[in-house]
Amino acid sequence: MSDSASPSRRIAVYSGTFDPLTLGHEDVVRRAAGLFDELILAVAIAHHKKTRFSLHERMEMAAEAMAGLPVRVLPFDGLIMDFCREQGACAVVRGIRNMTDFDYEAQMAAMNRKLLPTVETVFLLPQAELQCISSTLVREISTLGGDVSQMVSPGVAARLRPQPLQA
């Protein structure tokens, strides 16, 4: 546990690439923030993926969207369980849109439990009308000139304009 974390504080981590952060992500964040003393939105550096937005841009968009919520936005690299240990987290929050997400996330939760048994995985479903939204679909629709204003916050929508993928 990190020195800054009190043993009585319940800290959770919600990690992802957030390329970009969607309204579905924001819904999960808002509800998770109500369940824990502190929520950390951990933005993955994502060396293994080509991203539309740089880490700096993704963190900026997340910080703008999280303004007013008890959420810290931090970058992370490596194993999420190592990050949880460093932050003194008791839980990992995962958003589940469908059974495909559940199958993948259940397998990840089982592996994470082997790595750090003291950290629980909490699954949250976004509101029904947000369950069809994914960052991948938002990027594709935006790249093709479609309107994504019902899928992302206004700040994110303003940044979504045709641009090349980051290397």
Average pLDDT, the chain: 91
Percent of the chain with pLDDT over 90: 81
Q: Does 8 have pLDDT greater than 60?
A: yes
Q: Which residue has the higher pLDDT, 6 or 26?
A: 26
Sheet (strand 71-76) strand order: 71-76, 38-44, 11-16, 91-95, 120-124
What residues form the annotated binding site for ATP? 17-18, 25, 95-97, 105, 130-136
Residues with catalytic function: 25, 49, 97, 135
pLDDT of residue 166: 60
How far, in Å, CA of 20 to CA of 104, rounded? 21
CA distance 122 to 105: 10
pLDDT score at 6: 52
Per the CB < 8 A criterion, the answer to whether 55 and 43 are in contact is yes
Q: How confident is the model at residue 162 (pLDDT cuts 50, 70, 90)?
A: low
Q: What is the pLDDT of residue 163?
A: 54
For residue range 43-85, list pLDDT tens digits in order: 999 778 889 999 999 999 999 999 989 999 999 999 999 999 9
Q: Does position 3 have pLDDT exceeding 70, yes or no?
A: no
2 falls in which pLDDT band (50, 70, 90)?
A: very low
pLDDT in tens, 107-129: 999 999 999 999 999 999 999 99
Instruction: Say which amino acid occupies 101.
Output: D
Q: Tell me the binding residues.
A: 17-18, 25, 49, 80, 94-97, 105, 130-136
Domains in the chain: ranges and CATH: 11-158 (3.40.50.620)
Binding residues for substrate, as ranges, are: 17, 49, 80, 94
